[in-house]
Amino acid sequence: METKRIIIKDKTDPKDNELMEAAEILKHGGLVAFPTETVYGLGANALNGEAARKIYEAKGRPSDNPLIAHIADEEGLFPLVKEIPEAARKLMKAFWPGPLTMIFPKSDAVPYGTTGGLETVAVRMPSDPVANRLIKLAGVPVAAPSANTSGRPSPTTADHVWEDMNGKIEMILDGGPVGIGVESTIVDVTGEVPMLLRPGAITMEMLTDLLGHVEIDPAITGPMKEGVHPKAPGMKYRHYAPKADMVLVEGELQAMAEEICRLASEAGQQGKRVGIICTEETESFYAGKNHENWILLCMGSREKEETIAHNLYGVLRKFDECQADCIYCEGFPRTELGQAIMNRLTKAAGHKIIRV
């Protein structure tokens, strides 16, 4: 299949004539990748089980990993769900449109092909103007997981999507780099107490400020014990992973950087190509060590954690390109946006963490 790439001239104000062909493809059961404020999504008509099946095929995604249905406005929610719990009403008012997904009891209109066989459905209303207008024009809810091959880091630019999806889908809408860079926060509102299933840019602190008590799925905070299943089925996979072996080092800044230098020197002596993921605050420290076989990539500034989230997946993909054998990565405080950053880094590292 030939994949068409359409460049959106002004992503803050996309024109309907730029989106019409993509909307038609979605309406008729095809696949279109498009930018959202979190990461690029791979869209298909969420009410069409056969279209949803094509998503799993293009991504190589396990079919028990359910999809998020994206809607353009509140009216789009009603046909998809059996009820709207009180907590959901508050969350919608506060954070929609935006990077928040909620789990609802599903209506009969939503096929099991979209929900991975579950009786619940995940729904999000994106704020990105391209995503929002595209969904509106398509006139159907759009199932859209991240537009990467399953297991690879999520795409934050149209080039990343092209690397993974060229030849497998009808169209890519190129709206430039996304804003946030990590996937949406997921909150399950079907139980008595809302539960955070995946951390994102709507932080735990923001959720508890609004709702009071919010539980956290234990799958977020640590490696899963045998027999324990995360409530978001997708969270059990080794996601977000670069090809190289990655180790995450956590601790006070100076101690962390020194430990990474020690580990990197050791690996370098074994002839390995060593990758180091650092921050603006530590970059000169590693650069000063002047090791020729170290590949040093900076994720952003600790003072502005949104820059870290924004660059995270791009940096992991760069290490695939330069064929690092091992990667050492600095850790971050697990609060606010740091919780989402550490959740993705921990998984990229397959839970290999050293605390200093």
Distance of CA 223 to the CA centre of its chain: 19
Q: Which stretch binds ligand AMP (CB under 6 A): 18-26, 201-209, 226-234, 336-344?
A: 226-234
Query: CB neighbours of 130 closer than 8 A, spacing ≥ 6?
Result: 8, 11, 14, 19, 34, 35, 173, 175
**Token pair for residue 258?**
């020194």
Q: Which stretch binds ligand AMP (CB under 6 A): 158-166, 231-239, 259-267, 313-321?
A: 231-239
Smallest gap from residue 259 Cβ to ligand AMP (A): 32
By CB under 6 A, residue 66 contacts ligand AMP: yes
Please tell me the number of Cα atoms within 13 Å of 36 on its side-chain side.
Answer: 34
Residue 94: exposure state from Cβ atoms within 10 A (0-12, 13-18, ≥19): middle
| Options 145, 155, 175, 338; binder of ligand AMP; rule CB under 6 A | 145
| CA distance linking residue 237 with residue 259, whole number of Å | 29
314 binds, among Mg ion, ligand AMP, none (CB under 5 to 8 A by kind): none
Smallest gap from residue 154 Cβ to Mg ion (A): 5
**Token pair for residue 101?**
């997904």
By CB under 5 A, residue 185 contacts Mg ion: no
Helix (H, G, I), strand (E, B) or coil at 347: helix
DSSP string covering 64-85: TSPPEEE-SSGGGTGGGBS---
**Token pair for residue 294?**
């170290």
By CB under 6 A, residue 186 contacts ligand AMP: yes
Q: 191-210 mask for ligand AMP (x: CB under 6 A)? A: ------xx------------
Cβ closest to ligand AMP, residue 120 vs residue 132: 120
| CA distance linking residue 324 with residue 346, whole number of Å | 18
Helix (H, G, I), strand (E, B) or coil at 135: helix
By CB under 5 A, residue 114 contacts Mg ion: no
Smallest gap from residue 246 Cβ to Mg ion (A): 18
Cβ closest to ligand AMP, residue 242 vs residue 275: 242
| Options 29, 151, 233, 350; binder of ligand AMP; rule CB under 6 A | 233
Query: Hey, how many other C-beta atoms are within 10 angstroms of the C-beta on 83?
Result: 10
By CB under 6 A, residue 54 contacts ligand AMP: no
Distance of CA 248 to the CA centre of its chain: 19
Q: What are phi and psi of 136, to 5 degrees?
A: -60, -45
Cβ closest to ligand AMP, residue 132 vs residue 148: 148
Residues 254-283 that bind ligand AMP (CB under 6 A): none
**To which residue do tokens 């719990």 refer?**
85
Give the residue nearest to ligand AMP (CB).
Answer: 234
Smallest gap from residue 270 Cβ to ligand AMP (A): 35
| Options 6, 84, 118, 353; binder of ligand AMP; rule CB under 6 A | 118
| CA distance linking residue 196 with residue 216, whole number of Å | 5
| Options 45, 48, 120, 146; binder of Mg ion; rule CB under 5 A | 146
Smallest gap from residue 181 Cβ to ligand AMP (A): 13
Q: Are 148 and 154 spatial neighbours (Cβ–Cβ below 8 Å)? A: yes
Q: Are 104 and 79 spatial neighbours (Cβ–Cβ below 8 Å)? A: no
| Options 36, 45, 65, 157; binder of ligand AMP; rule CB under 6 A | 65
Helix (H, G, I), strand (E, B) or coil at 204: helix
Q: Which stretch binds Mg ion (CB under 5 A): 146-154, 195-203, 251-259, 310-318?
A: 146-154
Instruction: Summarize as ranges the residues that interact with ligand AMP (CB under 6 A).
Output: 65-68, 103, 115, 118, 120-122, 145-146, 183, 186, 197-198, 231-235
